[in-house]
Amino acid sequence: MKIKVLIVAALMSTFAITSCKKVADNGEIAVNTTINDIKVPAGFTWESSRAVSFTVNMTDSRFGTNAVHVISVYDGDPSNGGSLVSRGSATTTTAYTSNLYLSNQIKQVYVVKTSPDGSSITQKVTVGTAPVSITIGAIDPAVASVGSSSSAKILGGTVTSPDCNSGCTVTITSSTNNLNVNTGDLICITGSNITVSFSNINGGTVRVCGSNVTLQNANLNNSSSLIITSSGSATMSGNINSTSATLQNFGTLTYSGSFSDNGIFDNEGTFTNSGDFNMNSNSNFTNNGTMTVSGAMNVNTSNATTNSGSITTTGDFTANSNSNFTNNCSLNARGNFNDNGTVKNYNLIKAAGTATINSNNYLYMYNGAMISAVTMMLNGAIIGSGSTSLVKISGNTTINSSGTVQNAIQYCSGGSFTNYGSFSGGAAQGCSVYIATSGCNSDGNGTPTVTDTDGDGVADNLDAYPTDKTKAYDNYYPSAASGGVVAFEDQWPAKGDYDMNDLVIGYKYKIVTNASNVVVQVSAAYSLMATGGTVSNGFGVQFPTTYASVSGLTGGTLESGQTKAVVILFSDSRNEMANWNTVAGATTTATKTYTVLFNITNGPTLSAFGLSSYNPFIYNFGRNREVHLMGQTPTDLADKTLLGTQDDNSSVASSRYYVTKTGLPYALDVPVSTFSYPSEGSDITKAYLHFSDWATSSGSSYTDWYSNTGTGYRSTTYIYK
């Protein structure tokens, strides 16, 4: 609340109305309650983030009991823009633990375990408010569990099996002959140990949910679909005859004889066939599960065909002319491997016989991929990209005049080596490149070279400070890519006008830990955006460590007389910012930035220190009148006798702090780098049209009230520009 009579009078008249009309950005009129009308549910804390404790146990013993593996937690997929939140050590005897503070909008995180050799395993973890405890071993569970559940866990994501619980037009529980399936039909086979024979499948969908089902004459025509669900198992005869027909397997499917694919084939489970497997010219092929082909596999289509699971063939694997085959995981041909098209390999291709790459054809190898065979006949090109990949031939190699090995490739030949072709772009002979074993590559190659310059137990390639044994990891709040903003009302213990702009300051924290996950340094960046209060506000932050443990502070003042470490950035906001930055059209002052750095001796573990906004506060009318976020305790220098006076409902006995008698906070903390705060004198509910909905739902609805710029979320009329 500002000491301006006209504004106060205007606000008081506004508060007297039970509801007000607000103009959203789309021009629509929305009726919402004012801040005074919000019925705050008991126990609501006004937090847009929540604390989540993490424990990651590590069972990978490949490098010894005490070898340090690094655990990293990201707020999204690290391969697709996810940002680092926390990082630390784990061994087979000591788990990694951390106490994160995650935005309520974050429903899942990605946990990455990186071993001393640089190999890594990523797990996607659903998070709520309950503690998270997971175990990561040497084998990627995303590969080890392929085809074993209703949600086939694959390299690229998750595909979920349907069931037979709804939508079925016909349900089959016993053996049936001469079944016709047409457009609009959904045939659900729920019986087990039965035989179903078809006259025609000319459209519609057949789902198999029973076990040991025999499907006879299951020829898929037109836009028909056959789905073996995760609970189903079947033996099938028939083919995919139409380019728009689909065979999808989530369970266990056995095919008798040679299989002909002219349409869409998607295996998410376990597929076995006793003859050849032919991808014909119109085939669309995806394997995310386990395939065993007793004959040969032939790729005869120019459409993209992808293996992200495991394929084993008893006969040859041949990618024929104009084909385009991608191997993301494991391809094991117990015959020969023939490349007459284009093959992209990201993991392991293995042949028990000869690997042949013919003229004008290509084998692309990416980031530590391998191809292993007994002999090699190279008439085309092997091209490496990213980190070095390996061609490993146990017997003889012949590279003819048209054959080339290019870029990031190491070529290891155990027998005779006849080369009429060329090596270029850094490709070279050798057998030393290290490639880690994994769920996709059971062979691997070489021995890792682990360098630890500072001797702290963390390999240099995993150590953010490889020459400083006192430091190892950087941890962030909110994340490495984003910051947070805290906005204050400054008239505590009076309520104020709730424009939440009396002092608006952004922050971002980097917490440095050592190899034992103990906090050794804090680096903080602050940005003062607005000082809408007419009083002179000071600003400080109390950190969860002792005053005595802090040394080497730069960029602030370590306040004496405190048990905990309290850093004061400034004592008078008017000296920091000449203008308020809250009145549209008025002169503005540029955002002012501050950098604070201090060391911690004998500090707490990261789990105890936590990753949050810590305890920011303002003070005015003397040093002893502090205003904090709801639930945060006053510092030692605060006047506790002011608690529970005027509009404040604080109670030391009840551990209740900085909340009004109607349940409102005196400050808000939002996990975004930039907060579009209300303009001068504008109740926050005018600017943010779902603020009251968020509050009355105890924070379960409209968790993005502060960040969503979509229709109906905010009215820019009441937001400072």
Task: Please report where in the chains the tokens 């937690």 appear, as a residue.
Answer: 73
Distance (Å) of CA 123 to CA 74, 136, 155, 290, 307:
10, 8, 11, 20, 20
What are the backbone angles phi and psi of residue 239, rounded to the nearest 5°? Answer: -140, 170
Residues of the chain with pLDDT under 70: 1-33, 140-158
- pLDDT tens per residue across span 442-484: 899 998 888 999 999 999 999 999 999 999 999 999 999 999 9
- Whether 487 contacts 504, CB under 8 Å: yes
Task: Please report where in the chains the tokens 């779902």 appear, as a residue.
Answer: 690
Q: 215 burial class (0-12, 13-18, 19+ CB within 10 angstroms)?
A: buried
What is the reported pLDDT for 436? Answer: 87
Buried b (16+ CB within 10 A) or exposed e, 520-533: bbbbbbbbbbbbbb
Task: Please report where in the chains the tokens 């220098």 appear, as a residue.
Answer: 637
**C-alpha neighbours within 13 Å on the C-beta side of residue 375:** 9
Tell me the two tokens of residue 177: 């002959």
pTM of this prediction exceeds 0.85: no
As a whole number of angstroms, the distance between CA 388 and CA 327 comes to 17
What is the reported pLDDT for 143? Answer: 54
User: What does the DSSP 8-state code read for residue 41?
Assistant: P
What is the reported pLDDT for 534? Answer: 85
As a whole number of angstroms, the distance between CA 525 and CA 595 comes to 5
As a whole number of angstroms, the distance between CA 715 and CA 719 comes to 7
Chain-centroid distance of CA 662 in Å reads 38
- Whether 452 contacts 459, CB under 8 Å: yes
What is the reported pLDDT for 718? Answer: 96
CB atoms within 10 A of CB 10: 13
- Whether 146 contacts 157, CB under 8 Å: no
Residues 6+ apart with CB under 8 A from 583: 679, 680, 720
What is the reported pLDDT for 453? Answer: 98
Task: Please report where in the chains the tokens 């047409």 appear, as a residue.
Answer: 182
As a whole number of angstroms, the distance between CA 518 and CA 243 comes to 59
- Whether 608 contacts 511, CB under 8 Å: no
As a whole number of angstroms, the distance between CA 260 and CA 242 comes to 11
